[in-house]
Amino acid sequence: MTGRTHDVAAVAAVSLMAFRQPLPPLDAVTLAACAVATFTGGLAPDLDKPGSSLWRRLPGGGVLARVARPAFVGGHRNLSHSLPGGVLFALLARAALLALPEGYFRPVPVWTCFVVAYVSHLVMDTLTEAGVPWLFPFGGTIGFPPMRRWRIKSGGWFEHGVVLPILWGVILATWRAHLPEIIALLRSLGAGAH
């Protein structure tokens, strides 16, 4: 899947997760940090590929990608595209959030957005031809549907013409169904700014 599809999938997954229960009160900084965590988590598994979207977005990403390369055992779609890798990244994200100064934003919603977005990446890549080694280093790659030729070709017409519109549909339907909550949240942000 392309970086753009992973961005949209991450927003869809986080939207579905966020509205499963009434939204907690959120301040502007936490909301902005949630957005950063969503886009970071949605692309983080592809840090195993130099030149991937997240490396390109980071200042000095080209150099950093080369430095980090040995950490990604086996190259693209290995550790970082697995459940053990997901747990590792979740712990790293937790450590990074705990290292930040306290009191500026609420870390739990931010961390949750990162983890949900990360999992969305693995789910989306499972639908592609190459599949994902969910249980790395054990077992091979797992894909859905089981027949490889029925899976999605990364960057192909099906991804752009069918998958992306479906994901946008999920986002818009979720936001539309929870519009009063979204408006209340934005109003509370406005009230907090005074």
Distance of closest approach, residue 111 Cβ to Zn ion, in angstroms: 21
Under 8 Å between Cβ of 52 and 28: no
Near Zn ion by CB under 5 A, which window of 19-27, 31-39, 121-129, 144-152? Answer: 121-129
Does residue 159 belong to the site contacting Zn ion (CB under 5 A)?
A: no
Distance of closest approach, residue 13 Cβ to Zn ion, in angstroms: 14
Q: In terms of Cα–Cα distance, which of 26, 53, 8, 70 is closest to 184? A: 26
Pairwise CA distance, residues 89 & 85, whole Å: 6
Alpha helices in the chain (DSSP H): 3-18, 28-43, 53-57, 61-68, 83-99, 107-126, 157-158, 164-177, 179-193
Per CB under 5 A, the list member of 46, 55, 90, 141 interacting with Zn ion is: 46
Nearer to Zn ion, 125 or 159 (CB): 125
- Alpha-carbon dihedral 103, 105, 109, 113, rounded to 10 degrees: -140
Does residue 125 belong to the site contacting Zn ion (CB under 5 A)?
A: yes
Near Zn ion by CB under 5 A, which window of 35-43, 95-103, 117-125, 135-143? Answer: 117-125
Distance of closest approach, residue 107 Cβ to Zn ion, in angstroms: 26
Structure tokens at 129: 């031809």
Nearer to Zn ion, 5 or 30 (CB): 5
Distance of closest approach, residue 2 Cβ to Zn ion, in angstroms: 10
Contact residues for Zn ion (CB under 5 A)? Answer: 45-46, 125
